[in-house]
Amino acid sequence: MSWIALVGPELEENLSLRYLAAALATEGWRAEILPFNRPRDLATIVRTIAEADEPPLVVGISVAFQWRAVEMLAVVMGLREAGYRGHITAGGHFATFAAEDLLADFTELDSVCRHESEQTIVELVDALVAGRAIDTIAGVVTRDTAGTVVAGPMRHPPDLATLAHPDRRGLPKQCFGHALAPLVSSRGCYADCSFCCIASWHEQTLPGKRYRVRPPEDVADEMIALKRERGVEIFIFHDDNFFVPSKKKNLERFHALADALEERDIGPFGIVVKARPNDADLEVFRVLRDRLHALRSYVGIETDADQGLVTLQRRLASKQNHAAIEVLRELDMFGCFNMLIFDPDTTLPSLETNVEFMANAADFPFNFCRTELYAGTPLLRRMLAEKRTSGDWLHYDYRLRTPEVQRVFEMSIDAFTPRNFGPGALHNNIGGWRLELETCRLFHAEVFRPAWLERMKALHRCVGLDTVEGLRAIIEHVRSGKPSDDAAFVADMAPRLRALEHDVTQRWRVLRAEMDAAVAATRHDPRSLGHDMTPLQNAVPVDETAREVLHYV
C-alpha cells in the first residue's frame, strides 16, 4: 500500500497532522508523520521521502506558523531538487490565508488545503489516485493547466463529534514524571482580536459562527483512552479558548465533562487550559480547580493599556484584566500571561501602563513581545491599508508609531531576547517549571510542601520585577531625551539581566531536586502512588524545546 507523508512541527504530538493521519487511516490510507522541529531535520525529511523504495503518493506540509513558512517551503524545494515527482500540498493557518501567494510564487507546490482538512485531504488523495481533477474539491486551491491559481469552494468544517480521535503514535511527553497529551474540546473562539486569525478562519467557512464545541462525553472518551492506553494524566487543552461567552454554559459544560470523567472512573488527572480575562469568573474557575484539576490557566492579558485594548480589539476593559488576576489569587491557582506591549499604536504612556500591570502581577510568570502581523488578521489588513508595512506576504514588518517607542522596542529586544525567546529563555522556562511544581502539588500531595510554592512564587516575583526594572530603565532612558548611545546602555544592562537569569535557574534546580528527592522517597513504596500512578517507564521527558510548549499552551 502506498502512503502519505505528513511533515510539520512535532514539539509535542501535533494535533493538526494527527487529526489528518486519523482521517486518512479511517479511509484506508497509511500516513507517516515526519517531524520538522529543527533546521537539521530538513535533510532527513527530504532523504526519507525522496529515497523511499516506494515514494509517498502525496506529501502534506503543515504551514501553520508564518515564521516557519520559509523553512517549510525549503522542504518543498528540497524534495523537487531530490527528484520527488508526487503531489505536494500544504495546509494550516498561514497556508490557508496565503494560499494564492504560495501557489503563485512557488510552482514546486501543487496545492493548498484551506482550513480544517480532514475531509479535504482524503478527497484530494482519492482524486489524485483516480486521476480526477482536484480543482473543484472543496477546500483545495491549486493551479489550472494554464498555470492560473484556482480555488475550489470553501469547505464546510467538520462536525467535531464525528471526527476520528487523533493518531497517538509515539511515546507521550512527561511533566514531572507524569505523561501528558494535547487535545482540543473545541475549535475557534468567540472573540475577534485584531491580531489573531482565528475569527477570520471561522468567518470564511461558517459565516456568523465563531466556534464549535465537542460533546463532553466524546472529550471524556478520548481522555479515558489516553489514560488507559498511554498512561496520560495531564491533558493540555489546545482549544483557542476553553471557554464560551456564557457563565451558565461554561458551568454546565465543565460539570458535564467532570461528571463524564467520574462516571468513567478516570482517577487522578490534571488539565491545562486557556482563557480570556473576562472568562475568569470565580465560580467557573472554582469548578475548573476542584472538579477538573486545572494545573495551569493561561489568561490572555495581552495589554492593559486603554489604547492597546482598542488597537488589539480586545473588547474588554482593564478592570477585567485586574479582576482575572484577583480570581487566580483568590483560588490560589496557577495562571500565566503574555503581554503584547508593542503594537502599531503604542505610546510611551501605554507602555508604562503595561509595565505597571506586570509589576502588579509579578507573582505569576509572564512574557512580553511585539504584536506581529499575521496573514488573515484584521490588523494586517489595516496596516496594509495605511501603507505602514515593509516586506512582503511571507513576512510583513512595521515600525512603531513614534521614534521613541521604536527605540524602546529595539533596546528591549536587544536586552531581553535571551530571556524572552528561544530555547533556554527564562520567561518561557519558568512557566514550565511552575507547571512541574503544580504537577507535584496535585499528584504528590502527600509529600508536597507549601513552602515550595512560596519559593516558586518568589522566583516569579524575582524575574518579573527584574524585567519591570529593566523595561522602566529603558523607557526612562528614552524619555530623558539625552543624546546617548542606546547600544552602550543595553550593553551595560545585559550582564545584570543574564546574572539574574543564571541565579534564578540555579535556585529552581535546588527546588526541583528537593521535590524529586521527596517524591523518589515515596516511590520505594508503590502503594503510596495510588493504583494507576506508577512512574511511566517509557514516557519521554520534557526537553528544553518542549518547555516552551509547556509555558504557552
CA distance 117 to 17: 10
192 binds, among ligand SF4, ligand B12, none (CB under 5 to 8 A by kind): ligand SF4
Copy the grid coordinates of residue 364: 505569576
Kindly state the helix (H) or strand (E) to which residue 188 belongs, with its residue range. strand 186-188
Stretch binding ligand SF4 (CB under 6 A), from 193-201, 346-354, 445-453, 512-520: 193-201
Q: Would you say 58 and 5 are in contact if contact means Cβ atoms under 8 Å apart?
A: yes
Is residue 193 part of the contact set for ligand SF4 (CB under 6 A)? Answer: yes
Residue nearest to ligand B12 (CB): 91
Residue selected from 84, 235, 374, 448 as contacting ligand B12 according to rule CB under 6 A: 374
307 exposure class (CB count in 10 Å sphere: 0-12, 13-18, 19+): middle
CA–CA separation, 125 and 27 (whole Å): 10
C-alpha dihedral sign at 436, 437, 440, 442:
negative
Of the residues 72, 189, 272, 411, which one makes contact with ligand SF4 according to CB under 6 A: 189
The total of other beta-carbon atoms located within 10 Å of residue 209's CB is 12
Q: Which stretch binds ligand SF4 (CB under 6 A): 163-171, 184-192, 468-476, 515-523?
A: 184-192
According to CB under 6 A, which residues from 24 to 63 bind ligand B12?
Answer: 60-62
Contact 317, 345 (CB under 8 A): no
Window of 42-50, 152-160, 187-195, 388-396 that interacts with ligand SF4 by CB under 6 A: 187-195
Cα torsion through 541, 430, 331, 258, rounded to 10: -30
* In the complex, minimum distance from the CB of residue 455 to ligand B12, in angstroms, rounded to a whole number: 26
Q: For CA atoms 273, 278, 281, 284, give the dihedral sign.
A: negative
Task: Please give the full DSSP string across 471-513, using - where no structure is assigned.
Answer: HHHHHHHHHH-----HHHHHHHHHHHHHHHHHHHHHHHHHHHH
> According to the binding rule CB under 6 A, does residue 198 interact with ligand SF4?
yes
CB 303 within 8 A of CB 315: no
Instruction: Confirm or reject binding of residue 142 to ligand B12 (CB under 6 A).
Output: no
Which residues are paired to 37 by β-bridges? none
Distance of CA 348 to the CA centre of its chain: 29
Q: Min. distance of Cβ 236 from ligand SF4 in angstroms?
A: 16
Q: CB 58 → ligand B12: shortest distance, Å?
A: 8
Partner in contact with 501, chosen from ligand SF4, ligand B12, none, beta carbon below 5 to 8 Å by kind: none
Distance CA 342, CA 321 (A): 18
Size of the site for ligand SF4 (CB under 6 A): 11
Q: Does 368 bind ligand B12 (CB under 6 A)?
A: no
Residue 276 near ligand SF4 by CB under 6 A: yes
Least distance (Å) from ligand SF4 to the CB of residue 211?
9
Of residues 298 through 357, those in contact with ligand B12 by CB under 6 A are: none
- What is the nearest approach in angstroms of ligand B12 to the Cβ of residue 20? 6
State residue 298 phi and psi, 5-degree precision.
-80, 120
CA distance 386 to 380: 10
Least CB distance from residue 272 to ligand B12, whole Å? 11
| Options 7-15, 185-193, 461-469, 493-501: segment touching ligand SF4 (CB under 6 A) | 185-193
Contacts to ligand SF4 by CB under 6 A: 189, 191-193, 196, 198-199, 240-241, 276, 300
Binding residues for ligand B12, per CB under 6 A?
9-12, 14-16, 19-20, 60-62, 64-66, 68, 89-94, 113, 116-118, 121, 184, 196-198, 238, 240, 374-375, 548-549, 552-553
